[in-house]
Chains A and B, each alone.
Chain A
């Protein structure tokens, strides 16, 4: 079905060569045109309608806006009204579309695959719950009304426990705050107001707490503005995306972070308001800079430097947390960092209490206890919703075995996963895009979640709320008609809490419109308790020897719930740029010591088990530490395209259309197989760091795939020892200045560099300077206009009212790749899979290139990101060489690509110096029901067609259309490209350069640090890049 559908989007029935040829000449099959029975009032075919809702991909519950066409959800975007996401949405949040249309969704209620009726399923469940003397409910963290309803339902069943499953180690944070401040709440960390931010392990840009909020705040603090730019230092064993954005990365052994924190606190104490505190002083004297330096191997000078930067009179901020911090010292680290904040006088200024963030779930320990109780038969019924503990928890948690002991296990998960496979009965709930709900991520934020579309046809599901209501009813509780009425009843209460008068209908309507009710909260400080510097809290420091860290990334979380989203697998990991795989990160020196090389396959053995993975040597990880990505090793339904890998080039490998099936495909390995079920002694959170007993090369070369060209290429530079000594290949820009940088000092007019002259990253031996005059030729538009002057035909008018241009601020860009997900979602970009990625058939229109260049002054490696999309060049190389005008320069400056005119000579791609064009080497499948996510405003391309970024022309068309309806010009900011819309760092500005007031015009005209990539080739791209700004030319 999906194939037929895909074909017909493009109107070429590729039944056979001959038929394709015929069909190619435009014989259309007769379409059916299906009318509505009764059109709803707001329904308009061909018009995008957006619904404000709440994201449920993780417990942060950001606000989101779901764009729908023909009553189908097609894209998830951030909700601008929402105080946390503020209009942006992370990779995983946007991939909720692929969760909504996930091919592994359960089709309906069933017992071990045998379909049943909802009613009988629920009745049976209710009956069993009644006779059970205790019921266990494991679900995603709920901060809203559902929590209450759940409690009521469990009460009606005669008592039960509810556990919230989330792997984010927040219990440690709470415990740490309880010890240090006597309050176990998650405070607000006002990153945006800090002058200096020091994170101890906390990967705030990857996964710690709400990474969208963090990124917004981080940009406020760290982006260059008015001659100022905050300083960010990352103290962690693993650099990760967070560290790659830091000005300084201090690599430490896992567990040593706390020592550093206390040493810094010791340095600051004399000048601190708490200097009078004798007990504190004597405690900190145990952690003198020198002793810590000798213990951790971090030089005293670095620690002193840290202290100096951190001494901002209360406007600095230290944060701890994240997986890498969970080395057994987790809680102590939290306490130490709290102490540091207290000493630096940050409490109440950058650390604000009273927000009471609801994020994360219960500690792993509580699940261990639950497992024990299951074994002992305390629970007769276990319900599991939206959680996959069997996958996520280490094997020796004994969770799976415990489940086997339970008489009735019922899965309420939307998708079929490792846990639901063990359930006796599966009652699939609808995805949150189809369901009502709400959430209270923090005090004063009431997020409302409304269904953006009706239930997915062919999937007999029930929203979690309705299911609970029905269950409560069957259990004999006084249940409302459905969950919506229940919800509205709750919101009546919220209206009172918020003290908002007026009719409830208006309140409700407004809440629906803006996605909830958002107010502030009264923040307060806190006082350091003496327990924080009791000897019990003294960190012992990390263990020596080889250790492995299970690290999260913007694409994957330890829960693994989105380990089967093909977008997130296809989009390169921001740091390693690897796709469809797990890998081991390892530092060059350690690699040399262990005698393993880049891309070797190694076998890692820990006390708990062993697995194989490919080595990815990276400078961004401490010695003697390994790191593997979490959330992988799950099965993804994916088309079985023919494989030619390692096969003869002379024998045919033929694929028939009938061969293409959607089969589960195992991607990478689950790092948790290496982890033991060790929990933090104080908080009970799971440890993500464990000792490695052995690591040896298997002698194989790992099948690791990356779109990064240099990864495999060696040229002159690769021969020069400078890059090879690190055994990590050469990931530099070869001095070609794709991502350029300058320094704060230079921007402020001193510090040895002239205004816009950034320091050139170390060049290859064949470096030359750019030619001074690149304007030998006029812009083609002018040229054409001039040359058709003599002809009678009317002259093409270029850029009369609009010329669309873009500015990308590399100082803001964090490289999180949310823009790439948005691009995939908006433009129906096909997902091609690992093998096709490996043969250079990737389809991504937008890539966030990651460069690791040597700083010419320090010689250290530094990480830079440059998001590259089609430049819509004014002197484009692709336009002139297309023999059929399939690509041409339109009068608004877009390098237009008319898919159906393309005959596929690929000359344009060859001649594109930015290599931004993508060719359809085959017709790709969109496994059902993923095809329903396709954006009707974009053609779905077929085999043999070239495609590329068009600055989201479908959105431009939509915006102009709206403006015309209103009889006005498009105003600035009305049209946003998908990548711009979702960028949490506001790195991308897009608009009409002919409009002097437009933001992009302002930037391009006023910036001192703008440049075009490959300017000397004179393609005159419409994308202006703004240089990265570093503190005295250094960054991590």
Chain B
């Protein structure tokens, strides 16, 4: 805390919000190209049907649903860190929760696109929404897909609110430091927050309240997403382990993504180095280690149950995963999720930025592969051998996937420039307020 002061925090944050430079625009350009590819591919898919994607008859869900689950998963760490760790008063949270919350919001915004992208007649998507209509038709509340619609929307709206509430005092800071239109804008955004004791009192209560509301959602949303699979009849999907397994996996991937985002952020804005301390990163690493083990356990128990249950189809599937023609994805998943985090046992690596970054990338890939394995291999090898199928990617789904990353990073880049990417107010809590010494 030595060289960090109220002033320096303000400076650092405001520095990060300076008008963007060349490098920012350069990367933004790339991002927009990616997004453009996605939009083009989606347009093509709407016009010509789903055949541009690799999904086929036994395998009705492929990359799209994989992406959906992947992004929803990413969306977990943020709320977990900001809400759950807030409730348990984990100190390392303060420096990172703002950025990770932003990540959550944008990840869920990305995820929410995929249910639309993957349906065959997206122009009829509104039939999925229950509203009184002239057809006198209602939606089928028995369908897990519908539960998804609600779960994801609830989660999205709450995390957005929580995000904005957290931002209020910091917007106030920015407002105070800026003038003109900018001042007006942040003035509105900060809801005229003045920082009086009275306001702080109520603000903290409100924040606590939102934290309390957000916490259960962290667990509910991914459990419900997992029911898309657990509620079906297909071997490899029809299993009770999914909810906890999915939540753990989500936190696992979320934390990894936090690292993937914050480490570069830390590098780009030198001032952040003192604030986002390496030991915070290390804490994330520990979280990864822990959830990584839950995930590994889940994998092994799936195989055990497949053998122990004696269910013919289950066994066939779990033989197919490691030995079938999609085994590459399986072993890639095992390597990324079970092997690659192990080095983090050593404190040396845990505190080594490049190492952390590489591991986090591996985990991101691995968790995507996990969802891919669940979605695709289960469908590829279910009950009727005559109807078994296999899967190859096609350009449309590739481009849409690329586009989804473009969409996500576009928002994050904008966020970094227009919002304080660190929680100034809460960081200051940890410091002794600047006082004029008595004898001066």
Contact present between A and B (CB < 8 A): yes
Chain A positions within 8 Å of B, measured between CB atoms, are 14, 16-17, 20-25, 644, 648-655, 707-710, 712-716, 719, 732-736, 738, 764, 766-768, 836, 839-842, 847, 849, 851, 868, 877, 880-885, 901-907, 909-911, 913-915, 918-923, 943-946, 1014, 1017, 1019
Instruction: From A719, A901, A920, give the contact of B323 (CB < 8 A).
Output: A719
| Bound CA–CA A710/B310 (angstroms) | 22
Set of chain B residues within 8 Å of A906, measured between Cβ atoms: 55, 60-61, 118, 120
- Whether A944 touches B390, Cβ cut-off 8 Å, given contacts A712-B325, A922-B48, is no
Determine if A708 and B145 form an interchain contact, defined as CB atoms under 8 angstroms apart: no
Contact string, B129-173, partner A, CB cutoff 8 A, digits 1/0? 000000001111011111001000000000000000000000000
The answer to the question of B399 belonging to the interface, with a C-beta cut-off of 8 Å to chain A, is: yes
Nearest-Cβ distance from residue B222 to partner chain A, whole angstroms: 18
Set of chain A residues within 8 Å of B385, measured between Cβ atoms: 709-710, 713, 732-734, 736
Determine if A716 and B46 form an interchain contact, defined as CB atoms under 8 angstroms apart: no
Nearest-Cβ distance from residue A865 to partner chain B, whole angstroms: 11
- Whether A919 touches B57, Cβ cut-off 8 Å, given contacts A20-B47, A877-B233, A880-B142, is yes
Given A868-B384, A902-B120, A944-B121: 16 more A-B contacts, CB < 8 Å:
A14-B47, A20-B123, A653-B395, A654-B44, A709-B387, A709-B388, A715-B316, A716-B316, A736-B383, A738-B386, A766-B319, A877-B233, A885-B139, A901-B127, A905-B119, A1017-B233
Determine if B120 and A649 form an interchain contact, defined as CB atoms under 8 angstroms apart: no
Interface CB pairs A-B, < 8 A, 15: A20-B47, A708-B386, A734-B385, A766-B315, A840-B389, A868-B384, A881-B142, A884-B139, A904-B50, A904-B119, A913-B234, A915-B57, A919-B60, A922-B51, A944-B50
Determine if B47 and A713 form an interchain contact, defined as CB atoms under 8 angstroms apart: no
Which of A732, A910, A1019 has the most chain B CB atoms closer than 10 A to its own CB? Answer: A910
Q: Please, how many residues of chain B have a CB less than 8 angstroms from a CB on the other chain? A: 73
Determine if A903 and B142 form an interchain contact, defined as CB atoms under 8 angstroms apart: no
Determine if B382 and A945 form an interchain contact, defined as CB atoms under 8 angstroms apart: no
The answer to the question of B191 belonging to the interface, with a C-beta cut-off of 8 Å to chain A, is: no
The answer to the question of B36 belonging to the interface, with a C-beta cut-off of 8 Å to chain A, is: no
Set of chain B residues within 8 Å of A713, measured between Cβ atoms: 320, 324-325, 380-381, 385, 388, 390
| Bound CA–CA A911/B228 (angstroms) | 10
Set of chain A residues within 8 Å of B40, measured between Cβ atoms: 652
Nearest-Cβ distance from residue B147 to partner chain A, whole angstroms: 9
Set of chain B residues within 8 Å of A841, measured between Cβ atoms: 51, 56-57
Nearest-Cβ distance from residue A670 to partner chain B, whole angstroms: 30
Set of chain B residues within 8 Å of A851, measured between Cβ atoms: 386
Chain B positions within 8 Å of A, measured between CB atoms, are 40-41, 43-44, 46-52, 54-61, 118-125, 127-128, 137-140, 142-146, 149, 228, 231-234, 310-313, 315-316, 319-320, 323-325, 379-390, 392-395, 398-399
Nearest-Cβ distance from residue A889 to partner chain B, whole angstroms: 12
Determine if B44 and A911 form an interchain contact, defined as CB atoms under 8 angstroms apart: no
Which of B46, B320, B384 has the most chain A CB atoms closer than 10 A to its own CB? Answer: B384
Nearest-Cβ distance from residue A1018 to partner chain B, whole angstroms: 9
Determine if B384 and A840 form an interchain contact, defined as CB atoms under 8 angstroms apart: no
Determine if A716 and B145 form an interchain contact, defined as CB atoms under 8 angstroms apart: no
- Whether A911 touches B381, Cβ cut-off 8 Å, given contacts A20-B123, A883-B128, is no
| Bound CA–CA A764/B138 (angstroms) | 46
| Bound CA–CA A713/B379 (angstroms) | 13
Determine if B48 and A943 form an interchain contact, defined as CB atoms under 8 angstroms apart: yes
Determine if B386 and A709 form an interchain contact, defined as CB atoms under 8 angstroms apart: yes
Nearest-Cβ distance from residue B334 to partner chain A, whole angstroms: 19
- Whether A881 touches B232, Cβ cut-off 8 Å, given contacts A21-B123, A906-B61, is yes
Determine if B320 and A715 form an interchain contact, defined as CB atoms under 8 angstroms apart: yes
- Whether A881 touches B57, Cβ cut-off 8 Å, given contacts A710-B385, A735-B312, A910-B379, is no
Determine if B46 and A21 form an interchain contact, defined as CB atoms under 8 angstroms apart: yes
Set of chain B residues within 8 Å of A943, measured between Cβ atoms: 48-50, 120-121
Determine if A649 and B392 form an interchain contact, defined as CB atoms under 8 angstroms apart: yes
Determine if A650 and B383 form an interchain contact, defined as CB atoms under 8 angstroms apart: no
| Bound CA–CA A733/B128 (angstroms) | 38
| Bound CA–CA A392/B40 (angstroms) | 49
| Bound CA–CA A1019/B61 (angstroms) | 22
| Bound CA–CA A623/B60 (angstroms) | 42
Determine if A768 and B394 form an interchain contact, defined as CB atoms under 8 angstroms apart: no
| Bound CA–CA A883/B129 (angstroms) | 9
Nearest-Cβ distance from residue B158 to partner chain A, whole angstroms: 23
Instruction: From B61, B142, B398, give the contact of A910 (CB < 8 A).
Output: B61
| Bound CA–CA A648/B398 (angstroms) | 11
Nearest-Cβ distance from residue B404 to partner chain A, whole angstroms: 15
Set of chain A residues within 8 Å of B388, measured between Cβ atoms: 709-710, 712-713
- Whether A20 touches B46, Cβ cut-off 8 Å, given contacts A714-B323, A849-B386, A1014-B383, is yes
Instruction: From A716, A918, A921, give the contact of B51 (CB < 8 A).
Output: A921
Determine if B323 and A716 form an interchain contact, defined as CB atoms under 8 angstroms apart: yes
Set of chain B residues within 8 Å of A836, measured between Cβ atoms: 51
Set of chain A residues within 8 Å of B139, measured between Cβ atoms: 883-885
